[in-house]
Chain A
Amino acid sequence: MSTAGITASRATADGAPPLVEVEDVTFFYGESLILQNISCSVREGEFVSIIGASGCGKSTLLQILDGALQPAAGRVEVGGKPVAARNAERAMVFQSFALFPWRTVLDNVRLGVDYRRRDLSRKQRNEVARDYLNRVGLSKAEKSYPYQLSGGMQQRVGLARAFAVQPTLLLMDEPFGALDAQNAELLREDVRALVAQEQRSVVLVTHNLDEALQLSDRILLLRAAPGRVEDDINVRELRDDAENWRIDYSRHRDRLWDFLRQEVAAAQGRSLEDRS
């Protein structure tokens, strides 16, 4: 059912303009050039991962998509409109969960609903939050506080909070990075199911190659210093060819790693230069 949903939404999106359009975006942090002439796009219903060594500007790009940072030059549009700080179509999942420690789990999930759905009564907003809390399997924890939950459960709350605003674009900044391997695996399954169920478009920043290969339709490779798009790999096409995918998987992984290895080594070299 879920795969059919994605294919259908992709089919309708093929002719339409992309959901996210980034054109020639340049970003400086202070004096240093972080992103140089980045261009990329995300179609509706697409799952795009951004991979690169640390410091390549992938999180910066995500924050630009979220409207939290303004590029020095270039055009960023989501849904045909320039990104503004408080547009309603996006939702973010943070590496550090970013849950409010003084709010109960339910109140945390309701955060975005409270701000964006002022047309709903408090009761209705609670219903929405409960619904999404239920989907991540945390109904019983609604009255708990984040500090009473494990890391995996906290990120589940983060996911529910993001999905609860029913965003057209879901931004995820290394959402599994702070979790242990098994919890990360579990959560990836949840994300996959939720994204399929709700047919969301996703931009995922990650440093985990397998995660990118398994979850995404496309992978953007970002080169560092300054950040620019090195390659745009259509994983979905490869994966649709199910028989060869199993055989080719490690070859693709090796190819990604070859690129990343150089990048990581280069980053280390740069940090040594900075110190001397």
Chain B
Amino acid sequence: MTQQQQRIQQVGRTLPVQPQRSGWLVRHQQRLLPIATVVAILAIWEGLGRVAGWNPLFFSYPSQIWSGGLELAQGPLWSDLRVSGTEFLLGMVISVLIAVPVGLVMGTSKRLYWAFDPIVSALYSTPVLVLAPMLVIWFGLGIASKVAIVVILSTFPVMINLTEGVRNTDRVLLRAARSFGANRWNLNRDVVLPSVTPFFITGLRLAVGRAMIGVIVGEYIASTQGIGYQINADAELFATSRYLAGVMVIVIFSVAVMELLKFLEKRMAPWRHRELVRE
């Protein structure tokens, strides 16, 4: 063996032959870190609550909130959830039914866009929640007034996103489709609708957040049932643990709906997700 060959062999041995695989903790850190943060915060909160012994009328901590939640679950929670859920769903459905046709038409027609965009934008940016008391006067204490509040809050984000979606349809794609023989119907079905879909889901995501606010605030203002009503009642009774348990129910519900929509967006518009990741 020549000296050079020996040298090559030695160097070869010292080189790592396989890429190093990082440990389980490192590989899953993106998932683990948020969980760890939440657990840490809960632990500190719980510890503080137990050690400090603050007045339970003004302060509560996780284990107390948990038992407050159990109390709620044995009591009015489910019927409240049913009422609030109905208001939320009904409001969202009506919003979508109004927003989809109007948004699509406004995106397609330049004149209608010019005519109505200022009004729609103004209504979108105004905190229309100030109209809630009037809607209560019109529609009463029951479900209808909350549905109305959700509708005036949630219609506009869906509408605006649809309009922008149609207006942002890639012109080159339209040209390509036309060049390859698409008729008007083909253009709408094969180009406009698919490119609008991610905008629609973005609109829905914004609308869901606003609908939640609408339901809760509506019930706060005037109602006899619902999660918002329950929270308000508990707050006034200084039943702080139950009150915070109600808040937690809302948090869990919101996060679940948001995650569902994110999942939908990934499923229905995978190219968009990937494009963002790529850049």
User: Which chain B positions have C-beta within 8 A of A251?
Assistant: none
Judge whether B178 and A147 touch: CB under 8 Å: no
**In the complex, which residue of chain B has the Cβ closest to the Cβ of A69?**
B175
Judge whether B183 and A86 touch: CB under 8 Å: yes
Judge whether A102 and B180 touch: CB under 8 Å: no
> B179 in the interface, Cβ–Cβ < 8 Å?
yes
Judge whether B191 and A68 touch: CB under 8 Å: no
Judge whether B181 and A145 touch: CB under 8 Å: no
Judge whether B178 and A86 touch: CB under 8 Å: yes
Stretch of A72-80, A90-98, A235-243, A265-273 lying at the B interface = A90-98
Measured CA separation A146–B191 after assembly (Å): 15
> B274 in the interface, Cβ–Cβ < 8 Å?
yes
Partner of A100, one of B183, B194, B274: B194
Partner of B172, one of A66, A88, A94, A161: A94
Partner of A116, one of B180, B197, B275: B180
**In the complex, which residue of chain B has the Cβ closest to the Cβ of A112?**
B180
User: Which chain B positions have C-beta within 8 A of A88?
Assistant: 181
Judge whether A100 and B191 touch: CB under 8 Å: yes
Interface residues of A in 170-197 (CB under 8 A from B): none
Judge whether A100 and B179 touch: CB under 8 Å: no
Judge whether B271 and A102 touch: CB under 8 Å: yes
> B182 in the interface, Cβ–Cβ < 8 Å?
yes
Judge whether B180 and A91 touch: CB under 8 Å: yes
Judge whether B275 and A147 touch: CB under 8 Å: yes
Judge whether A92 and B179 touch: CB under 8 Å: yes
Measured CA separation A147–B278 after assembly (Å): 9
Measured CA separation A137–B186 after assembly (Å): 29
Partner of B178, one of A85, A94, A102, A161: A85
Judge whether A116 and B181 touch: CB under 8 Å: yes
Judge whether B274 and A98 touch: CB under 8 Å: no
Known A-B contacts A96-B172, A98-B172, A98-B173; the reply to A146 vs B179 at CB < 8 A is: no
**In the complex, which residue of chain A has the Cβ closest to the Cβ of B269?**
A102
> B72 in the interface, Cβ–Cβ < 8 Å?
no
Name the residue among B173, B179, B183 with the largest chain A CB count within 10 angstroms. B179
Interface residues of A in 10-64 (CB under 8 A from B): 63
> A111 in the interface, Cβ–Cβ < 8 Å?
yes
Measured CA separation A115–B189 after assembly (Å): 12
Known A-B contacts A100-B190, A147-B275; the reply to A115 vs B181 at CB < 8 A is: yes
Judge whether B270 and A145 touch: CB under 8 Å: yes
Measured CA separation A161–B181 after assembly (Å): 12
Judge whether A101 and B172 touch: CB under 8 Å: no
> A165 in the interface, Cβ–Cβ < 8 Å?
yes
> B177 in the interface, Cβ–Cβ < 8 Å?
yes
User: Which chain A positions have C-beta within 8 A of B181?
Assistant: 86, 88, 112, 115-116, 165
Name the residue among B172, B180, B190, B195 with the largest chain A CB count within 10 angstroms. B180
Judge whether B178 and A68 touch: CB under 8 Å: yes
**In the complex, which residue of chain B has the Cβ closest to the Cβ of A85?**
B178
**In the complex, which residue of chain A has the Cβ closest to the Cβ of B270?**
A145
20 residue pairs of the A-B complex, CB under 8 angstroms, read A63-B175, A66-B179, A68-B178, A85-B178, A86-B178, A96-B172, A98-B173, A98-B175, A98-B176, A100-B194, A101-B272, A102-B197, A102-B269, A111-B180, A115-B177, A115-B180, A145-B274, A146-B271, A147-B274, A161-B180
Contact surface of B with A, Cβ cutoff 8 Å: 172-173, 175-183, 186, 190-191, 194-195, 197, 269-272, 274-275, 278
Known: A92-B180, A100-B173, A111-B176. 7 other contacts (CB 8 A): A92-B176, A98-B173, A98-B176, A111-B190, A115-B181, A146-B271, A147-B274
By Cβ-Cβ distance, the 10 closest A-B pairs, closest first, are A112-B180, A115-B181, A101-B271, A98-B176, A102-B194, A92-B179, A116-B181, A98-B172, A147-B274, A147-B271
